[in-house]
Amino acid sequence: MEPLSVAVRRGEIVESVHRVHAVAVKDGAIVGEAGDPGLPASLRSSAKPIQALLLARARENLDTNDLAIAAASHYGTPMHVDAVRELLRKTGGREEELDCGLQEGRPPEPVYHNCSGKHAAMIAVCRERGWPVEGYRRADHPLQQALHEEVAGAAELDKDDVETAIDGCGVVCFALPLERAARAFSRFEGRDGGGPIAAAMRARPELIGGEGATDTELMRTLPGWIAKGGAEGLMCAASSDGVGVALKSADGNSRALRPALAAFGELLGVDLSRFAELPVENSHNERVGALGKL
């Protein structure tokens, strides 16, 4: 089956076309596909809910905000930064221990980095497990080794079958075939700690990304679903009844994801029609075109 095609039109001119691969899995079987379900995809930030499982198991005193911000790629607003600071406070962490670096265009403090919630969670897990906080982001640290095992287990793969690299914030990132990413999300809520994290994501979608973020808006549009975007045009999601979905823009452009989600939703009987078309505007705020299914 061909990938989904999302066209960028300016008037009647087609300026570019994005190809998006998509797959849906339930009970270990593919129930919908477009393009190549075996396409290798770097999970990047889509792995954050899975990485947060270790935190959910380690601490019983955490609330909805704590678990949501641990799974977030946040916008660095006061709401987000306050949630990271509260997670650090509850778990004995300190801002100076955050080793996620600085992010261009944001205040020059690591707590404003969009991955600071994940890093706060990693620091908390290290303290609970008796692992050193220093060097927690390095590939040879026991935390990163445990996270490698966790991602492999979620995808029902051997650890050696999950390729790794280094993410933008300095920790290990993981590659999976697109079908295995969808499978991991389809099974997520049934994993130890998955229920509380999924509930937190549903309750506080605005913490997962922020106002206007595709994963945030997807969860608002489909109550009961969870969703987490990743860099280079990846989106993973799951319904409450165990349908896992993964979409990957072949050229890495995330602007194609919403129209692709709408088109794939049609195949699955899921209404995402509000995502079907995105306006193209000029510097006068005039609509001059649209992104939509080719």
- Can you give the residue ranges of every domain in the chain? 4-293
On whether the CB atoms of residues 244 and 237 are closer than 8 A, the answer is yes
DSSP H/E element including 164: strand 163-166
DSSP letter string, 220-235: HHSTT-EEEEETTTEE
For domain 4-293, give the CATH number.
Answer: 3.40.710
* pLDDT value of position 60: 87
pTM: 0.97
* pLDDT value of position 53: 98
* pLDDT value of position 35: 98
Q: How many CA atoms lie within 13 A of 162 on its CB side?
A: 27
Query: Tens-digit pLDDT profile for the chain (294 aa)?
Result: 899 999 999 999 999 999 999 999 999 999 999 999 999 999 999 999 999 999 999 998 999 999 999 999 999 999 999 999 999 999 999 999 999 999 999 999 999 999 999 999 999 999 999 999 999 999 999 999 999 999 999 999 999 999 999 999 999 999 999 999 999 999 999 999 999 999 999 999 999 999 999 999 999 999 999 999 999 999 999 999 999 999 999 999 999 999 999 999 999 999 999 999 999 999 999 999 999 999
On whether the CB atoms of residues 112 and 121 are closer than 8 A, the answer is no
Paired residues of 281 in beta bridges? 287
* pLDDT value of position 1: 86
Q: What count of other Cβ atoms lies within 10 Å of the Cβ of residue 167?
A: 21
The number of residues in the chain equals: 294
**Angle at the Cα of 249 (from 243 to 250), degrees rounded to 5?**
125
Characterize 259-289 residue by residue with b for buried, 16 or more Cβ atoms within 10 angstroms of its Cβ, and e for exposed.
bbbbbbbeebebebeebbebebeeeeeeeeb
Token digits for 158?
A: 């051997």
* pLDDT value of position 75: 98
